[in-house]
Amino acid sequence: MTATALQVAVLDDYQNAAREFGPWHELGGKAEVTVFTDHVAVADRLVERLAPFDAVVAMRERTRFRRGILERLPRLRLLVSTGMGTAHIDTEAATELGITVSGTAGRAQPAAELTWALILGLARHVAAEDAGVRAGRWGHTVGTDLAGATLGVIGLGNLGRQVATVGQAFGMRVIAWSQNLDPAAAAAAGVEAVPKETLLRTADVVTIHVRLSERTRGLIGEPDLALMKPTAYLVNTSRGPVVDKAALVGALRAGRIAGAGLDVFDTEPLPPGDPLRTAPGTLLTPHIGYVTAGSYQAFYSGAVEAILAFLAGNPIRLLTA
């Protein structure tokens, strides 16, 4: 390793998987890679950690890079975000500061698969029955039939369509709504476009697949949850703030909906005292919708490609303001 090697930090590797799934050897002596398996949320600590690095590989949105952070990292020249999202990066500030921001390829299938893991887990009370067997009980819940039930998909993009296709395979009626949904495109996917209120009143399972923006923040609030059946389930593998957390906790505690499967939260990692941890009828996973071997191979291979392209003076997959 030469003294001029690019110093690269790989952040938030919770599963300690970056070394296994990334072809870092392709960097040769051009870069020295340091992997961090913990998360740093405090700004001063984050700046202190990243001060010695020329490049940072950020795992999705686990760490946010706002202007105040970027301005305190004068050595930073390259920021690689796994995936092509930029909600966690102030790309305007990065451009002004001369920091190149690159993305990587991603895969929608893993998130669609986890959505169905949550739906099935809720409908058949998998976590409760597992706990019951381990405690010596045998069969204490009654499951919900999916065949013949109605699946309501909020956001019929690439991921939403994949979820809808599986619902159809289970024999479910699939309806959908989003702010810009084209009824013809929905019909082409075998899905019926309906108003938001109709979807919430009708669906036995409501699943959310929209990007977080100012338009979608708080998209599902107390009035929306009040429209749902008391036997219905809400599943969110999109982003936490799309659903009003206080309203959701209230609906769960009051029994106004049957349960919620959540992979995303307002604050991640979920704080120890968060009320969702004790809310009834919940099935919680730690934002693992994209956490599969295939996704990690795509992310970290793309990160290595981005680093090599940057070093060659031809940065790729630029994410700019």
* Distance (Å, whole) CA 191 – CA 22: 39
Asked about 71 being catalytic, the answer comes back as no
Asked about 268 being catalytic, the answer comes back as yes
Instruction: Given the residues 61, 125, 287, 305, select the one marked as catalytic.
Output: 287
* Distance (Å, whole) CA 10 – CA 6: 13
User: Is residue 84 within 8 Å of 101, Cβ to Cβ?
Assistant: no
User: Is residue 39 within 8 Å of 59, Cβ to Cβ?
Assistant: no
* Distance (Å, whole) CA 113 – CA 120: 11
Asked about 49 being catalytic, the answer comes back as no
Euclidean distance between the first and final Cα of the chain, in Å?
Answer: 35
Instruction: Given the residues 239, 256, 277, 305, select the one marked as catalytic.
Output: 239
In terms of DSSP H, where are the helices of 12-57?
Answer: 18-21, 43-50
Non-local CB neighbours of 155 within 8 Å, separated by 6+ positions = 176, 178, 208, 209, 210, 238
18: its two tokens: 């970056």
Q: b or e along 13-46 (b: 16 or more beta carbons within 10 Å of the residue's beta carbon)? A: beeebbeebbebeebeebbebebbeeebeeeeeb
Rounded to the nearest angstrom, the gap between the alpha carbon of residue 75 and the centroid of all alpha carbons in its chain is 30
Helix/strand/coil for 108: coil
Q: Which residues are catalytic?
A: 239, 268, 287
